Amino acid sequence: MRTAPTSLAAAAAAGVLLLTGCGSSGAGDEYGTQDRAITVDAGDEFTLKVPANPALGQNWYLAEPQPAADVLKYRGKREEEEGGGDLTGAGDGTQFFDFTALKPGRATVRLLHCPMASCHSGTESAKPYPSASVTPGGPSESPFPTATGTPDDRPAFFVYTVTVR
Amino acid sequence: MTESSTDRRKRLAELTGDIDSAGSKNDLIEAIDAALGVSAPEGDPTTLEMLGKRYKDQADDATKLSERVAKVAAQGIPDVWVGDTSVLAADAVNAAARAAAEMSEAFTGGGKALLTFSDQLQAAQKKDGDGRAKLSEARGMLGGKDGFFDDLHEDDEEESLRLKARSLASVGVKLRHDAAVTADDAARDAARDLNKWAAEARTGKMDTDELTAVDRLMLADTSNIDGDPEYNEILSANDLERSGQAMEKLSPADRARMEKLLHDAKTPQEKAYLMKALASGYSVDEVETFGGKIHGKDPKWLQEHLAPVTTGNDPSQTGQENQDFDGKLWDQDGETCVPSSTVTARAIVDPVYALELTGGPDGTDDDPEHFRKRLTDEQLRLHEQGDGDNSGWWWDEHPSGMDKDGQEEISNKNLSPHTGDSYEQQSMDGADDRRNVLPDIEKSVAEGKPVPINIERYDEDGNRHGHSMMIIGQEGDKLQIYNPWGTTTWVTEDQFISGDLSAAADDRYSAAHKGNVDTVYIQQG
């Protein structure tokens, strides 16, 4: 298995507590990419926090279908970036997807991870990888898969199941 | 000192502002004198036109030759082998037909480039003359400079005269600036096209008597099997030249061994890769070892293992194209864009190195996970070699970028031995600098020598982010960029000049984020 992008490795090592829903930003609990099953109380605000190192062209998007609107309210996406100064290729970043739990029930949140600038919106779910080695007219490569592990260098959906008590 | 066409354009743009804002007679006189001091567009349109017409005549001859050879090819040729390295005669005749067609195309393209340049230069010189006449007339209206006390007061009549002269001078300097822009753009376009056509006159690049004309023809004609052959030739113009020179320098015994290797090769692609290894600077012993690893492999295997980049997109197509080995991208692991783009660039010019990465030491380890590990290890080796920065705690220390000197060092240590040139960083202080360096970049990549570039941007908090990429191809007014995110993209010259290469990276490098190409590492031959 390929080494995870550095920002993720660093976050996993140095910020485990921040990523496991213990809360940090004052706007509710934060959950990392390993927390795919989340339970919150109605009325809670919470955040999905994902590694988005701009040096690695990493970006995340809320994908279709969006979570059930009567269970979760999506409040928007935020981003924090660290520059690299005079160095070329250095940097780090994190993106945050903010939600409010409205009423008891279950909702599915799909985030599309786009590493290496491999996709540019949450609606590219059916797009095959463009590749010179794919024979024109022949079978194309798979659409983006659903991730079961940590973010790597290929685009994938991260599917979170959110239970609201 | 001779001004370049870009300097002239820049200077006249500045003087346009000076003339338009001249608030006193003396300021206006100084600005007009400075504008008159800028030299006119250089060049002789008549000579260029004659040369262009001569090229077109040569193109007609080459077209006739191409048609005659194509007729021979169509008649069916028996299966006989020719040349020192055993080339099938039918393949050789087909290659000759394509070479003659390319020659015709090169003469036509070169002739057209010269005629267009001639027309544009003539128009620019005429416009420049008109502008100069208006500036001289305006200067004549003003007479001599005022003395210190005269300059302190300007009456209505003097002001009216100054404004009239300024208006005329403004028209004149704008005409001269327009002429300078036309001449500068025309010169760059002609240089780009002529460099490209010269690089595409491929067969003649391999200047050696040690191979027959048929062998040289076939080597220059061989491409990988996927994508348009024109964008996937195995031997670049530089490879052809360097392999020809290498053949000339070999001892008779080594030359005989090299010829035998070529003779025994099973496909034209295998032959071309043996020559590419020789062009990359390897000894015949090393080429022989490499030859043992690739002998008998089919063209698809050779392409997958020895060509990190396969170009499927036509230059007119936008969008990024993934470059992978059996599903694993040729991309950076961690914050290593500088060493990663250098590793891939070396693999593009050095097939022995490419095979070590894709197939391991013996060339047979095809496991994509093992390729990924070897690629990462090599990226980290270059990161150390260039004294790259690291960050994180002791249990998670990881690469975190490299400075420009480190980048120059790893380019020289890893690319120069295989391309024959050394690299020198040039800071890009805006569009004029990028416009100025473009002909050098285009000449390098047309010859098959990758050019490292750095882009930068600023985020909402004003933090600087830098990223390294590599220019690896050129076609018309398009440049092909390899991004160590594992992709290649065709971008326009205008995108490069503007500094906005977000099409080859992501939206965060767009003009909205002050996207900018800030450094070019250009070869010094």
Q: Is the peptide bond before A54 cis (omega within 30 degrees of 0)?
A: no
Across B136-147, average pLDDT: 88
- Tell me how close the Cα of B382 comes to any Cα of chain A, in angstroms: 14
Inter-residue contact B233 to B268 (CB < 8 Å): no
Q: Which pLDDT score is estimated for A138? A: 41
A88–B454 C-beta distance less than 8 A: yes
Classify residue B504 as left (phi > 0), alpha (psi -120 to 50) or beta: alpha
Which CATH number does A18-80+92-126+141-164 carry? 2.60.40.2020
Q: Which pLDDT score is estimated for A93? A: 94
A90–B466 C-beta distance less than 8 A: yes
**How confident is residue A26, by pLDDT bands cut at 50, 70 and 90?**
very low
- Tell me how close the Cα of B244 comes to any Cα of chain A, in angstroms: 31
B461–A131 C-beta distance less than 8 A: no
Same domain, B107 and B193: yes
- 3-state secondary structure (DSSP) of residue A82: strand
Same domain, B229 and B131: no
- 3-state secondary structure (DSSP) of residue B322: strand
What are the boundaries of each domain within chain A?
Answer: 18-80+92-126+141-164
A14 reaches B (C-beta below 8 A): yes
- Tell me how close the Cα of A94 comes to any Cα of chain B, in angstroms: 13
Question: Does a structural domain hold residue B345?
Answer: yes
Inter-residue contact A40 to A164 (CB < 8 Å): yes
Write the pLDDT tens digit of every residue in B422-454: 898 999 999 989 998 998 998 898 888 999 999
B226–A57 C-beta distance less than 8 A: no
Domain of residue B495, CATH code: 3.90.70
Same domain, B210 and B196: no
* Rounded CA Rg of chain A: 17
- Count of A–B CB contacts within 8 Å? 159
Q: Which pLDDT score is estimated for B156? A: 84
Q: How far apart are CA B375 and CA B398, in angstroms?
A: 16
**How confident is residue B386, by pLDDT bands cut at 50, 70 and 90?**
very high
In this structure, how many other beta carbons lie within 10 angstroms of the beta carbon of residue A64? 12
Chain B residues touching residue A153 (CB < 8 angstroms): 329, 331, 333, 486
* Poorest-pLDDT segment among A99-113, B149-163, B192-206, B285-299: B192-206
- Closest partner CB to B335 (pick from A6, A86, A116): A6
B483–A10 C-beta distance less than 8 A: no
Q: How far apart are CA B471 and CA B482, in angstroms?
A: 6
B376–A87 C-beta distance less than 8 A: no
Question: Of B145, B166, B201, which residue is a domain's last?
Answer: B201
Chain B residues touching residue A94 (CB < 8 angstroms): none
Same domain, B251 and B326: no
Residue listed under structure tokens 């980290």: B380
Question: Does a structural domain hold residue B364?
Answer: yes
Same domain, B154 and B210: no
Is residue B50 pLDDT above 90, yes or no? Answer: no
Is residue A91 pLDDT above 90, yes or no? Answer: yes
Q: What's the pTM?
A: 0.79
Q: Which pLDDT score is estimated for B92? A: 67
CB burial class (10 A; 0-12, 13-18, 19+) of residue B377? exposed
Inter-residue contact B275 to B259 (CB < 8 Å): no
- Nearest chain A residue to B332, by CA: A56
Question: Of B306, B330, B357, which residue is a domain's last?
Answer: B306
Question: Of B201, B227, B252, which residue is a domain's last?
Answer: B201
Q: How far apart are CA B492 and CA B499, in angstroms?
A: 11
Reduced DSSP (H G I as helix, E B as strand, rest coil) percent helix, strand, coil of chain A, to 5: 10, 40, 50
Angle at Cα B450 formed by Cα B448 and Cα B456, nearest 5°? 155
B379 alpha-carbon distance from chain centroid: 24
Inter-residue contact B88 to B79 (CB < 8 Å): yes
Same domain, B134 and B242: no
B312–A132 C-beta distance less than 8 A: yes
Chain A residues touching residue B458 (CB < 8 angstroms): 83
Q: Which pLDDT score is estimated for B276? A: 94
Across B344-355, average pLDDT: 97
Strands A92-101 and A72-82, bridge-based pairing: antiparallel
Long-range pairs of B29-32 with CB within 8 A, sequence gap ≥ 24: B29/B139, B29/B142, B29/B145, B31/B169, B32/B135, B32/B138, B32/B139, B32/B142, B32/B165, B32/B169, B32/B173
Same domain, B404 and B435: yes
Can you name the residues that pair with B390 across neighbouring β-strands? B399
- Closest partner CB to A88 (pick from B466, B486, B508): B466
Which structural domain range is residue B223 located in? 206-306
Same domain, B339 and B471: yes
Reduced DSSP (H G I as helix, E B as strand, rest coil) percent helix, strand, coil of chain B, to 5: 60, 15, 25
Q: Which pLDDT score is estimated for B86? A: 58
Chain B residues touching residue A5 (CB < 8 angstroms): 334
A90–B391 C-beta distance less than 8 A: yes
Chain A residues touching residue B400 (CB < 8 angstroms): 6, 84, 87, 89-90
The per-residue DSSP string of B324-385 comes to EETTEES--SSB-HHHHHHHHHHHHH-HHHHHHHHHTTTT----HHHHHHHHHHHHHHHHHH
Inter-residue contact B478 to B315 (CB < 8 Å): yes
Structure tokens at B46: 């008549």
Inter-residue contact B271 to B265 (CB < 8 Å): yes
Question: Does a structural domain hold residue B495?
Answer: yes
Chain B residues touching residue A59 (CB < 8 angstroms): 506
Same domain, B4 and B57: yes
Write the pLDDT tens digit of every residue in B476-503: 889 999 999 999 999 999 999 999 999 9
Is residue B4 pLDDT above 60, yes or no? Answer: yes
Same domain, B497 and B410: yes
Q: Which pLDDT score is estimated for B61? A: 78
Q: Which pLDDT score is estimated for B282? A: 96
* Poorest-pLDDT segment among A31-45, B149-163, B288-302, B396-410: B149-163
Can you name the residues that pair with A77 across neighbouring β-strands? A97
Is residue A10 pLDDT above 50, yes or no? Answer: no
Q: Which pLDDT score is estimated for A23? A: 37
Across B163-173, average pLDDT: 95
Structural domains in chain B (count): 3
Q: Which pLDDT score is estimated for B83? A: 63
Write the pLDDT tens digit of every residue in B64-112: 777 777 776 666 655 555 566 556 666 767 777 777 777 788 888 888 9
